[in-house]
Each structure stands twice: as structure tokens, then as C-alpha cells.
Structure 1
Amino acid sequence: MIKTEFGIMDTIDPEKNYVKYEPQKYGCVAIDDDKYINDWWPQLMLIQTYTQSLSRPSFALDRYGVTLIPPESLPALQDIVISDKRINHDHNLIALADRISQAIDEQKYMIHFGV
């Protein structure tokens, strides 16, 4: 499995450049990049994100770097995850959907670490 990881950021520093790989710091959930992200890519391209810092707006995920996902983009990401029929057979997707729900409820940014 080539993993990609998603976690919740307790706080976000608008001046910081998030380039360090720290999945344990954000309680990340890992999913199989090749299995899911490729299939989701057309939908992900519609989601506003940031690459490494809030000064670098983007769309989708940085497949090989760090992406910051703002609270307003999380419902769209959640829709992608929970509409995937494989969620019924993959505990990692269920865990990801739960983490997204938590971030939505708490109005927090998520962080994504690419492959």
C-alpha cells in the first residue's frame, strides 16, 4: 500500500510553512493512495486547498507534499469519501470519514501528507 495520510490540525499558523512530515502530531489516518486518490481525482480537483501554507492557495491534494484543507472544503471531501462504495469494506475509509466529521464539527483544518 502506498499510503496517503489525513489528520486534524488543532491550530494553524498563517505564517508557517508546513513542510515537515509529522503524521503522529496530527493523529493521521492512512489510506491507500493508488486505490482511492486516483479514482477521486476529478472530484478532488474542485476542492479548494492550500499547498504547504495559507499563502499558497490551490485545488485538490499535493500528491507528493503537504496540503492544508480548510474547514469550508471539508464537506466536499466528506462527500467524496462516504459516497465511495468501498467504504463498507475498508476500516481505513471509515476512520477517515470519522476524522473529517470531527474536523467539521470542530471547525478545524485538516492536513494531508502525500506519498
Structure 2
Amino acid sequence: MPCNHEFGIIDCLEDYNEHEYNPEKYNCVPIDDDFLSEIYHAGLKNKMKKLETFAHNTNRPFKDLAYYGITLIPPKSLKYFLDIVVEANSKHNVKELEILIERISTAIKENKWMIHYGI
């Protein structure tokens, strides 16, 4: 059984509840852990460690994705995140990463937060 990460867009941050797992609410797309691992194994681990995020709620500043938890990615960090995923995908050209690129691009255009549910 594959282990998936889920990435979605938060329409209204005030409606977010860190105690509920609800990928449908955020129209999340599943990304297999193997494909997300490509980002870390493509020599981009140090860049990911600089990605400004929040772990579980906006009171917990974090760097990187909370691999086994919930990550909130603010709009100001999305371009940086997009650049990392594009760079990783340029080396491997993975359809799932293309889907993630589209989702990040949409969040940037709409100036929205993203949510990541780890494995």
C-alpha cells in the first residue's frame, strides 16, 4: 500500500482545524512518498530545510515539511517551494510532481495558504 502525502489549498485559514484530518475539504492531491522523496534525494534537502512553514498551526513556525504531521505553507513561501519542486522535477519529470506544481501555482495565483498532510 503506497504512503501518500496530501497537498491542498486552504480557502479560508479561519476555517482550518488542526485536529481534523480532512483532505477533501482542501481538495488535496495525493503525492506518493517515493515522489516526494525525489525532492530530498535530488540534492534539494538543504533548500527544503529553509522553507518557511508552520507545523500544525500558525503558532508553531517551522522549516521544511512536517513529514509525519500537518504543515501549513504561507503564501510568502509558495514561490520558494515551487522553485524547489520544479528543480526536482526537471531532473526526473514525474507526473505526480507536475500535479503538485500545478497546485502550488494555483495557490500562488490566488494568494492562498497550502496544507500538507504528511504520511
| Amino acid across the alignment from 2:66 | D
Q: Percent identity?
A: 42
Aligned to 2:10: 9
What is the root-mean-square deviation in Å for CA atoms of aligned residues? 1.7
Query: d(CA) in 2 for partners of 1:58 and 1:17?
Result: 18
Q: TM-score, normalised by structure 1?
A: 0.87
Deviation at 1:83, TM superposition (A): 1.1
Letter in 2 for 1:61: L
Q: Which amino acid in 1 is paired with 2:50?
A: L
1:42 to partner: Cα distance: 2.3
SS at match of 1:67: strand
* Alpha-carbon distance in structure 1 between the residues aligned to 2:14 and 2:7: 18
Instruction: Trace 1:11-90 onto structure 2 (pairs within 5 A).
Output: 11-13=12-14, 17-37=17-37, 38-39=40-41, 40-84=44-88, 85-86=91-92, 88=93, 90=94
Give TM-score, length-normalised by structure 2: 0.85
CA shift at 1:17, angstroms?
4.8
CA contact (8 A) 1:19 1:65 kept: no
Give SS of 2:14's match: coil
Moved over 3 A (4+): none
**CA, structure 1 residues 72+47, in 2 after alignment: closer, same or farther (shift >3 Å)?**
same
Is 1:100 matched up with 2:104?
A: yes
Structure 2, unaligned runs of 5 or more: none
- Cα distance in 2, alignment partners of residues 103 and 34 from structure 1: 23
Cα deviation, 1:14-58, whole Å, max 9, x if unaligned, reads 9x6513211111111121224433424322110110011111111
Q: Secondary structure at the match of 1:73?
A: helix
Deviations 1:58-114 (A, max 9, x none): 11011111000000100111011111222x2x2211111001000001100000000
Structure-1 separation of matches of 2:83 and 2:26: 22
